[in-house]
A and B are shown apart, each in its own frame.
Chain A
């Protein structure tokens, strides 16, 4: 699954002329991690899954809440890829962060969410999904 922080992306159309050795062109400013399914394929059976990631502003807001909750020094790095556990968050921290996110974004996160989010990006993606549902 390719995970992106850029907002716009371009893909070459998937067609029978697609060669296994070519990597689709992704026109984005930064790519966090790109991994593709193994490219042993028959024509037409190739699938690629892209998850549309959250806006940078959402990620930033989450980072801010996480920093505050964990009382991180100003020079410590918190990005979309940051894992809560690696930043020193235990289960109480995670629930406090979830509560902070609920208040900041005006949403309600189910208990399963608190269990399933392990990075800042996970939280931001989930928030945007819920905002979308709410706003739609």
Chain B
């Protein structure tokens, strides 16, 4: 019962701690995507070929430059370029959902490149990584200030995310050597079992005939 008292106490203590966490967490105001300056950067992303791109092989030619309509340019310190899901790739996949609160948003999980902000137009030749899933994408560049908070962005598609999209086909992840190893171990398992079984039955017959 001393142990159960100790368990009760620690449970109660952890409950108290949670409550405190919740109170403190709710106090900060979350940064929203809708507060960011739209179209501050002009971004283009040109795929290396017209058909579906292969992850790990095909490239994107990405360029970004300051738009004439941008107003918050003074705050820009870094540009973060990311690969984002088009709406069609978010259907039935809540782990890719677009959320207004920036820290919750999961629609742009793949980092392309991060560069210090430069007034002149920038470009980058991006080879699609081998862990990019199959889907339809566009490119977005966030302008980030010195406190690492996003202040503005630009993207290679329109506001409805319907133009200039490109499709990627993921790698399969399968390998011939893996397939062979798999078959070998499976066969070993079945054979070992049969050998044991047959052997034991044979010994039993010999025993019985004695």
Q: Is B a genuine binding partner of A? A: no
Chain A residues in the interface with B (C-beta under 8 A):
none
Chain B residues in the interface with A (C-beta under 8 A):
none
